[in-house]
Amino acid sequence: MAPLWGSSLSSTWRSLSGYSPVQNGEQAGSGSTDADSHLKPSIGQILMSKRVRYIAAALAAFLLFFLAFNNYDQLPSIDSLRPGASPAAGAKSDCPPVTVPDVADSQVNWSRFAYTQYVTNAAYLCNSVMIFETLFRLQSKADRVMMYPEAMMDPAETNPTTEEAKLLVKARDVYKVKLVPVSIQKRAGGDATWAESFTKLLAFNQTQYDRVLNVDSDATILQTMDELFLVPPCPVAMPRAYWLFPDSKILSSQLMLVQPSEVEFDRIMKQVENAGRSDYDMEIVNQLYIDSAMILPHRPYDLLTGEFRGDDHKNYLGTDREEWDPVAIFNEAKFLHFSDWPVPKPWIPMSQAMREDKQPKCVTRDGQEDCSARELWNGFYDDFAKRRSTVCGTKKRSRR
């Protein structure tokens, strides 16, 4: 008995192709090559038949539905396919993982890189000059660039008369800062904070450099960060706001490593034009780069002064297995940002009562009282006041 699979396969093939074989004796001239070629369907005819097309379309639709159902969160949106659009939420960055190399002086052209600061008023002018004084004292090798309101001074001024102009000349002549006058943009109804935020984003337009590192000026640089200029290429690199992690994985704009370009600056400008009333620099960079930025380690590149007043340090440490050691953390940190709400910024007077109430508590360690966190925290504010007096000529306030 002949196997059944052969006839079954033939009938299946016939049903798919829409053709039936010619039975013996039903066609005159059997054995004729022309007749055979006329009656037997070709591969093209089979593929073009309605049944094959219907079944193929059904299989394709099923496959697309299956892929979409299992990968719906990775499918691109129409907006994400437009030129210049930022990656969709959940998309992976094209940037390689961050690796921080050792600095090799003989192999680096440091004129390709710069630390940048922005200035919008006299208070922040002093802060910026203090940042550049620190970089000069630490012998940082990259250029130093200050963006400041063009109305403050002509960058070629040699005989300054105002306090702002004297500080700008000191930055230029003593701390070797390159002065870049800019027009401070203002938004109708917007406050000074918005203008300051916008000015920070001008770092994306410093295309004379391959890379710039913009740091907030309400901070203290503890160690040079030249090595960051040598991390793998990426349009933007920032640490995450560790104090909000893991509930929120947003980027911190307190420190931004940028590869300036006309394309990225155009994206920034368009985002600024469409910004909401409560959108500032941090919101703008997160809207554009939250899923595509290279993530810099917040430890040691973004430490808050408020961390020394806290009780739970696992977000900063990155683990609940490591013991908090304020001295060790301070020694490894490179960038310290003054963020201590409700404690005011370090150039704004703080009452003795607030200082005593908000300063870190002493703890008992190995049977002995340990006040190192308190001493460090008070030292941050005292050091800032002392340097502000020395660098900017301001009167040092007694803080104790």
Q: What is the mean pLDDT of residues 221-235?
A: 95
DSSP line for 335-395: EEE---TTSPPTTS---HHHHHHHSPPPEEETTEEE-HHHHHHHHHHHHHHHHHHHHH-PP
Q: What is the pLDDT of residue 190?
A: 56
Task: List the domains of the chain with CATH numbers.
Answer: 110-392 (3.90.550.10)
What single string gives the DSSP state of each residue in 232-285? Answer: PP-SEEEEB-GGGTTT--PBPTTEEEE---HHHHHHHHHHHHT--TT--HHHHH
- For 54, list phi and psi in degrees, rounded to 5: -65, -45
Least confident among 32-41, 75-84, 201-210, 308-317: 75-84
Give the torsion sign (CA, 186, 273, 144, 176).
Answer: negative
The mean pLDDT of 337-341, rounded to a whole number, is 95
Question: Cis before residue 342, ω within 30 degrees of 0?
Answer: yes
Q: Which residue has the higher pLDDT, 151 or 39?
A: 151
Q: What is the mean pLDDT of residues 326-345?
A: 96
Residue 249 sits at φ, ψ, to 5 deg, of -110, 35
Contacts of 312 (CB under 8 A, 6+ apart): none
CA-to-CA distance for 237 and 67, rounded, in angstroms? 33
Model confidence at 247, pLDDT cuts 50, 70, 90, reads: confident
Which distant-in-sequence residues (6+ apart) come within 8 Å of 36 by Cβ? none
The pLDDT score that the predictor gives to residue 3 is 41
Phi/psi class of residue 343: alpha, beta or left (left: φ > 0; alpha: ψ in -120 to 50)?
A: beta
In sequence order, the 6+-apart residues with CB closer than 8 A to the CB of 399 are 350, 352, 355, 378, 381, 382, 385
In the structure encoding, which two tokens stand for residue 26, read together?
A: 């039903």
Flag whether pLDDT at 30 surpasses 50: no
Q: Which residue type is seen at 138?
A: L
pLDDT > 90? residue 168: yes
Query: What is the per-residue pLDDT for 109?
Result: 93
Report whether 260 contacts 207 (CB < 8 A): yes
Q: Is the pLDDT of residue 39 over 90?
A: no
pLDDT computed for residue 274 by the predictor: 84
DSSP labels, 139-188: T--SEEEEEEETTT--TT-SS--SHHHHHHHHHHHTS-PEEEEEPPP--T
Average of per-residue pLDDT across 91-102? 71
Taking the CA atoms of the chain, what radius of gyration do you get in angstroms? 33
Q: Indicate if the pLDDT at residue 56 is higher than 80.
A: no
Q: How many CB atoms lie within 10 A of CB 200?
A: 26
Backbone φ, ψ for residue 256 (5° rounding): -130, 125
Which amino acid type is present at position 398? S
Mean pLDDT of all residues in the chain? 80
* Alpha-carbon gap, residue 117 to 143, rounded angstroms: 11
Mean pLDDT of 262-277: 88
Least confident of 172-186, 245-259, 295-309: 172-186
The letter for the amino acid at 225 is M
Is the confidence at residue 67, as pLDDT, over 80?
no
* b/e code 52-64 from CB counts within 10 Å (16+ = b): eeeeeeeeeeeee
For tokens 């094959």, name the residue. 52
Tell me the two tokens of residue 52.
């094959």
pLDDT exceeds 50 at position 86: no
Cβ(144)–Cβ(221) under 8 Å? Answer: no
